[in-house]
Structure 1
């Protein structure tokens, strides 16, 4: 049978002293190396994660889905925090988390010899997903728009500014709410 020590070492994370540990990273991982994978394409009917949940203002992906690294997300978050620190009690919400390990082999390396070493953490985000939200206290739209624009400039895809009233997205399709058609009872009847 398994001993407790064997179980701990199999579930424990990578060795201490690994590069980039100060950035966003999961606390524990079972396997430090993973397949490359692909950015998901939203073709189902789910609109989960495409509208605001916590804040009043936000940005979501308008262009192609992309893989964000932990460094890119951290940099964008710092830009937002620096811009909105004048507002007391303002909060920044990060809606995605880098939990995918990316491994890279060195340049001019011969084929074989196994998978490369761990390099950084990343996350795959499809089109329409909300990345950052700003809330906590009332913030002027101009300030929020400028802070999120600067953060979007740090990220490698096209973003759009959204509010609470922005409709959800399904990939590239914006789902506008249906307007009910007027019924016959609601229309005035003309008599002559």
Structure 2
């Protein structure tokens, strides 16, 4: 035991010099500072940390910062006010939109986007547009847990999408055949837990189960004018009385 203590003190004396009573440091260490980390490593470390304190991978869909750590569960919005925003193609030429309200998680959206890009890899210059983004933190409590004790812990990111919302669009500077785009969007729709429909650039907007010219104000104006014109023509037709029978 004494031999081990002597060896430890000898190593300590090699690393540090004797005490100094005058001004200056008490110990003179042989340690030298290491090289500072590169800016690339610092940026990568900051990218992996999200606002919830967990690790955010580079391929995971998640907001960079939020105002609150947790949020209410909420409900999927129902377009009862008559708004048709987000139900038509804006960026690409083809797309898919929902036929039922749903809450889509970041993992589901990422899987659908991966399948879509893998199918369109053969088309050089094709672009994929995601019209939604998971920015709502979903918290889950364990099964068979008593009430109280605060809100559950963070589980995953999600987004709320109403009926008729366009989820993905494909397009870009190159022309994509409709058959290729339809097959790629079919593979992406298979990753989503909600039925969807395939739409094109000139598709009519959708409001719940109402689709078509009933939502277009110009079309409704034209139809009203056509009905009034037909009514006028019908009233202006002279009446012909049947001949009298002798």
Task: Give the shorter-chain TM-score range.
Answer: 0.7 to 0.9
Q: 1:77 aligned to 2:97?
A: no
Q: 1:89 aligned to 2:128?
A: no
Q: Normalization by structure 1: what TM-score?
A: 0.84
Higher RCO (CA 8 Å, separation ≥ 6 residues): 1
Structure-1 separation of matches of 2:129 and 2:169: 5
Structure-1 separation of matches of 2:77 and 2:107: 21
2:147 pairs with 111, 122, 137, which one?
Answer: 111
Instruction: Name the SS of the counterpart of 2:122 in structure 1.
Output: coil
Conservation of the 8 A alpha-carbon contact between 1:99 and 1:122: yes
1:38 counterpart residue number: 75
Q: Normalization by structure 2: what TM-score?
A: 0.66
More strand by share: 1
Mark the CA change 1:165 to 1:81 in structure 2 (over 3 Å): closer, same or farther.
same
1:6 counterpart residue number: none
More helix by share: 2
Question: Shift of the alpha carbon at 1:20?
Answer: 6.2
Question: Shift of the alpha carbon at 1:13?
Answer: 2.1
Structure-2 separation of matches of 1:146 and 1:37: 34
Question: Shift of the alpha carbon at 1:150?
Answer: 0.9
Unmatched 5+ stretches in structure 1? 1-11, 188-192
Structure-2 separation of matches of 1:69 and 1:158: 15
* Cα deviation digits, residues 89-138 of structure 1 (max 9, x gap): 00000000101000001122222111010000000000000000000021
Question: Shift of the alpha carbon at 1:32?
Answer: 1.1
Q: 1:150 aligned to 2:173?
A: no
Conservation of the 8 A alpha-carbon contact between 1:13 and 1:30: no
* Cα deviation digits, residues 41-82 of structure 1 (max 9, x gap): 1111211100000000000012x2000000000000000000
Q: 1:132 aligned to 2:168?
A: yes
How many residues align? The count is 172
- In terms of mean alpha carbon deviation, does 69-78 or 173-182 score higher? 173-182
* Cα deviation digits, residues 156-184 of structure 1 (max 9, x gap): 11100000111000122113142733969
Mark the CA change 1:122 to 1:21 in structure 2 (over 3 Å): closer, same or farther.
farther
Structure-2 separation of matches of 1:148 and 1:53: 16
2:98 counterpart residue number: 61
Instruction: Name the SS of the counterpart of 1:101 in structure 2.
Output: strand
Structure-1 separation of matches of 2:206 and 2:104: 20
* Cα deviation digits, residues 15-46 of structure 1 (max 9, x gap): 2x336674111110121111100011111121
